[in-house]
Amino acid sequence: MGSGEIIMFYLMFGCLLESQCEMNKNEYSAVQSEEVHLRSAERLRELCCSNRGTFIKVGQHLGALDYLLPEEYTRTLKVLHSQAPQSTRQEIEQVIREDLGKEIKELFVSFEDTPLGAASLAQVHKAVLQDGRTVAVKIQHPKVQAQSSKDILLMEVLLLVVKQIFPDFEFMWLVEEAKKNLPLELDFLHEGRNAEKVAYMLKNFDFLKVPRIYWELSTRRVLLMEFMEGGQVNDRAYMERNGINVNEISRNLGKLYSEMIFVNGFVHCDPHPGNVLVKKCPTSGKAHIILLDHGLYQVLSESFRMDYCRLWQALIKADMKRVQKYSRRLGAGDLYPLFACMLTARSWESVNRGIDQSPVSASEDMEIRSNAAAYLPQITQLLNNVPRQMLLLLKTNDLLRGIESALHTRASASSFLNMSRCCIRAVSTYQRSKSLSLYRRAQISLTEALSLWQINLYELFLWLKGSQLGNWVIALLRRMHHSTY
């Protein structure tokens, strides 16, 4: 979902939350509430499927918000992650014929008619090349180019109408963002280059797998990739069946995105569950994360990335003066408390106490859900004020929180420790690049090493505290302590 579609998301999202609040006011019974939610969710799914394109992307985003929306919505809209409306065989043949100049039977030994998955812009088929390689063939829906232009026009009209009703509603710039981002998402050669760039950038993570691109049979509308399969990253049952450690997957996903955001400033911005798969390697037994769909990336400027790093460091340390300082530098102004809550998906009380101090409680979850509708005007104002780079990061945060919620791994201490490591490395690298003094650079490196060592020590302490060995050591120390008195 590009920046231009965020407005459509928030309009639909606002309606969902308003209806939920209205039901709470009218004290609906649990059964009545479930029926209303389910009926509304099914209508919303039909709306997305009928209009396709941008609407599918909005539905995918809503379907990933397990931590915020009622289960009836997320369960109903999850099908859009991989089962959106499909193009026909004839339409697929036409795109391949026009772009590659050959028929399907000339290019492939076999080509499965049923797509592996269908999304808003394209669908993916499994096929075997003449040389025996098994590939995934991503084919753009033939009408999506024309449809995307209509979607942008519709967005522009919607924004003008809303602007007339609510004069303070300043979002016309989103149309320009859509015009900038959508052509990039529709260019599969651009997507292929992004895939190769991120694979090289994150080559040190042996758990990450990015499908190889076969350039000789790729065009702007057809992308041939190495075939990879697995379960969706939010499918806890799949992981348990296949002996995959859920906490390890959540931890590695956090490492991946912390590295992209804080260290590299090159961020995959569409991590809905259909684009992130997991699979256990049959030979090594290690769990792999497979990252798909590289059409939408956000490149972060150095100054933005440093402010964002320091803001997260302040949030993790509960340093409210610095939270306010760096939130303001990122455009939040007096709405910095709301900004901190949106970034962390935690209540303001938890932010003040320290987001790593306690997991999300049921009452806090309810507070977040109810406040989201109440603060919609302020959210709108905030989105209008922050840098454009922030919009896709907010959406990425939403999707990652949804995955953590589905896996029941939200707010784990290890995820914040990994973020802290990346922030320290990123800030230290930046400071060294700006320092002309050899002594100062050595000082920065020493401070970095000590900070990372402290984090490692704290992580060891947490591991010992939660392990059987740690309990045995603590018990032994207590007995030794008591025996001296």
User: Using CA atoms, how far apart are residues 406 and 122, in angstroms rounded to an integer?
Assistant: 26
CA distances from 328 to 6, 16, 194, 303, 483 (A): 22, 30, 32, 14, 55
In three-state secondary structure terms, 20 is: helix
Residues forming beta bridges with residue 118, ordered by sequence position: 83, 123
The side-by-side arrangement of strands in the sheet containing 276-280 is: 208-209, 287-291, 276-280, 231-232
Separation CA 194–CA 375 (nearest Å): 36
Residue 98, pLDDT score: 95
Instruction: Output the tens digit of pLDDT for each of the chain's 485 residues.
Output: 444 444 444 445 445 544 555 554 455 555 556 777 777 778 877 777 776 666 766 676 666 565 556 777 777 877 666 566 788 999 999 999 999 999 999 999 999 999 998 877 889 999 999 999 999 999 999 878 777 777 777 767 777 776 776 666 566 666 666 677 778 888 999 999 999 999 999 999 999 999 999 999 999 999 999 999 999 999 999 999 999 999 899 989 989 999 999 999 999 988 888 899 999 988 888 999 999 999 989 999 999 999 999 999 999 889 999 999 999 999 999 999 999 998 888 888 888 988 877 777 778 777 777 776 677 778 878 888 899 888 888 878 877 887 888 888 765 666 778 888 999 999 999 999 999 999 999 999 999 999 999 888 877 876 776 666 656 766 666 666 555 54
Are 45 and 59 in contact by the 8 Å Cβ rule? The answer is: yes
Report yes or no: 274 and 232 within 8 Å, Cβ to Cβ. Answer: yes
8 A C-beta contact, residue 343 and residue 395 = no
- Write down the pLDDT at residue 32: 58
pLDDT at 224: 97
Model pLDDT, residue 410: 66
Q: Are 170 and 384 in contact (CB under 8 A)?
A: yes
4, 174 contact by CB (below 8 A): yes
3 state DSSP class of 127: strand
| Residue 187 annotated to the active site | no
| Contact predicate 232/117, CB 8 Å | no
From residue 272, give the alpha-carbon distance in Å to each of 59, 286, 325, 411: 11, 23, 32, 19
Indicate the residue type of 170. E
The strand pair at 287-291 and 122-129 is best described as unpaired
Distance of alpha carbon 334 from alpha carbon 327, whole angstroms: 9
Give the SS3 label for residue 144: helix
Residue 309's Cβ-side half-sphere holds a number of Cα atoms within 13 Å equal to 28
**What's the pLDDT tens digit per position in 325-365?**
999 999 999 999 999 998 888 888 888 988 877 777 778 77
Q: Which of 66, 151, 235, 270 is catalytic?
A: 270
Length of the chain: 485
Summarize the chain as % helix, strand, coil (round to 5).
65, 10, 25
CB 208 within 8 A of CB 256: yes
Relative to beta strand 208-209, strand 297-299 is unpaired
Q: For position 3, what pLDDT does the model report?
A: 44
Provide the sign of the torsion angle of the four alpha carbons 351, 353, 359, 364, taken in this order: negative
Element (H, E) at 288: strand 287-291
Any bridge partners for residue 140, and if so which? Answer: 122
Q: What is the structure's pLDDT at 5? A: 46
* pLDDT (0 to 100) of residue 11: 47
Q: What is the pTM of this model?
A: 0.80
Residues 404 and 69 sit within 8 Å (Cβ to Cβ): no
Which tokens is 215 given? 């350039």
Buried-state track 182-220, b at ≥16 Cβ within 10 A, e below 16: beebbbbebbbebbeebbeebeeeebbbbbbbbeebbbe
Q: Residue 73 to residues 27, 60, 68, 204, 450: CA-CA distances in angstroms? A: 20, 11, 10, 38, 47
pLDDT score at 52: 67
